[in-house]
Amino acid sequence: MNPPSSITPSSGRRVTRAIALVDRQYAFVSAIVKVRRSTAKLYVANQGDNTVSVFELANLTAAPTTISGGGLNDPHGVAVDASGKLYVANQLGNSVSVFDTAHGNAALRAITRGGLDFPQGDTVTARGKLYVANAGANSVSVFDTGHGNAVLPAITGGGLNGPYGVAVDSRGKLYVANANNSSVSVFDTAHGNAALPAITRGGMNDTVDVAVDATGKLYVANDRVSVFNTARGNAVLPAISGGGLSGPYGVAIDARGKLYVANTKNSSLSVFDTARGNAPLLVITRSLKHPAGVTIH
């Protein structure tokens, strides 16, 4: 389902979409995940039918399993922690649904506190901190999943403007895609969430998702996929286009350099090999309906 072309945050400020096209959505972010490829799974949130499709990473052309229920309501961001808990940000429910993937995808108690307001992308660190972008409040909510999803101080400022996608790199840098001003805010979570200079170059247009790999390459979904080298001052690298991209919404990258991009306009998932010049590998359409967030575990 499509959100309205603008939203009014709890602060009363109006947030206008970068694009008001009915079929244009925005994207979410997942950081690189190191998992055994033989058992790894790819999770894709389908906002079109309130489900999450689960693919075997080693056999992406096989029929996925489906997760439903659990309060899913226009699901967008998806993230999985080290224990196998799946966190799904619900745009229309102002909540995060939680499922136990280690026990049959059983639905657990949803997260509804912590200032969630039109939540979009989410990501969880190895230490169990869950970050959720709130497009309606220009903030990022933070939870400690290791202690009952305790609410931690939210992140604000730093140029947040319609935040959608979030990712955290190995150094604790938090990257947030801002849909309303085509930028990426950067925060140092290892030093009190201090705001660092935002990324605004590279020809980004309607930034909606981010993912970062082990070498520090940052992938940003907008009208294509922009690429930056965060280890070298956010140097601009060649962007990724083609390969079936159509309204790129969510991005994730695995340890082998395979980039997965959810395309909301044509209900598909594009796969690229970043280790081989961003060569397009595969386009998946099976069981997807206006996909949004994507992650690997």
Per-residue pLDDT of the chain (297 residues; tens, 9 = 90+): 343 333 434 444 334 333 222 233 333 434 444 545 568 999 999 999 999 999 999 999 999 999 999 999 999 999 999 999 999 999 999 999 999 999 999 999 999 999 999 999 999 999 999 999 999 999 999 999 999 999 999 999 999 999 999 999 999 999 999 999 999 999 999 999 999 999 999 999 999 999 999 999 999 999 999 999 999 999 999 999 999 999 999 999 999 999 999 999 999 999 999 999 999 999 999 999 999 999 999
66-95 in b/e burial notation, b at 16+ Cβ within 10 A? ebeebbbbbbbbbbbbeeebbbbbbbbbbb
pLDDT value, residue 21: 28
Q: How far is residue 102's CA from residue 100's CA, in Å, rounded to a whole number?
A: 5
What does the pLDDT read at residue 36? Answer: 54
- pLDDT by residue (tens digit) across 20-53? 222 333 334 344 445 455 689 999 999 999 999 9
CATH fold of the domain at 14-296: Methylamine Dehydrogenase; Chain H (2.130.10)
- Which single residue is written with the structure tokens 């309130």? 50
Element (H, E) at 116: none
What is the C-alpha separation between 124 and 191, in angstroms, rounded?
A: 18
Helix (H, G, I), strand (E, B) or coil at 70: coil
Q: Which of 186-207 are b and which e, b meaning 16 or more Cβ less than 10 Å from the residue's Cβ?
A: bbebeeebebeebbeebebebb
Give the start-to-end residue ranges of the domains of the chain: 14-296
pLDDT at 39: 86
At residue 39, φ and ψ (nearest 5 deg) are -115, -5
Taking residue 144's Cβ as centre, other Cβ atoms within 10 Å add up to: 14
Q: What is the pLDDT of residue 30?
A: 43
d(CA 120, CA 94): 9
Strand partners, 228: 218, 236
